[in-house]
Copies of this chain bind each other. A is one copy, B any other.
Amino acid sequence: MPISDDSTTLAQLRNEVQQFVDERDWSQFHNPKDLSISLSIEAAELLEEFQWLNQEEVDQVRRRPEHLARVTSELADVLIYGLSLANALDLDVADAVGMKLDASALKYPAERYRGRFRLDP
């Protein structure tokens, strides 16, 4: 199933995830606590891809196809659990992200935080 970010809505991607879950009758396991545990574990596996790397090595990741493929795969796991949680709790992901960006825009006014995310003296 070749899909792309340009042509796929959040609802369609969530539906792909839900279909996978439904085909295995796994909704019974998908309570929000266990989904959050799994998301946290996958986030750590993603982080593991950068464990011990110095800045130079981090910069090279985008030019190393095999490493990039592993990162992509771990990010997919994180997102699948994130979308599963949205499915389990019937949350609107785009709305949640939009609302959070709006709130963050108030917390971090662009003019004051340009080029920095702390207001150190």
**A residues bordering B, Cβ < 8 Å?**
1-11, 13-14, 16-17, 20, 23-26, 28-29, 31-34, 36-41, 43-55, 58-59, 61-62, 68, 71-73, 75-80, 82-83, 85-86, 89-102, 104-105, 108, 110, 113-115, 117
- Min distance, Cβ A52 to any Cβ of chain B, angstroms: 6
Partner of A98, one of B3, B68, B73: B3
- Cross-interface CB contact of A61 among B32, B38, B93, B96, cutoff 8 Å: B32
Cross-chain contact B53 with A44 (CB below 8 angstroms): no
A76 touches B89 (CB 8 A): no
- Report A99 CB to chain B, min CB distance, Å: 7
Which of these, B1, B14, B20, B77, contacts A5 with CB under 8 Å? B14
Contact of B51 with A8 in the complex, beta carbons under 8 Å: no
Known: A47-B36, A68-B89, A94-B4. A101 touches B25 (CB 8 A): no
Give the Cβ gap from A67 to chain B, nearest Cβ, in Å.
Answer: 10
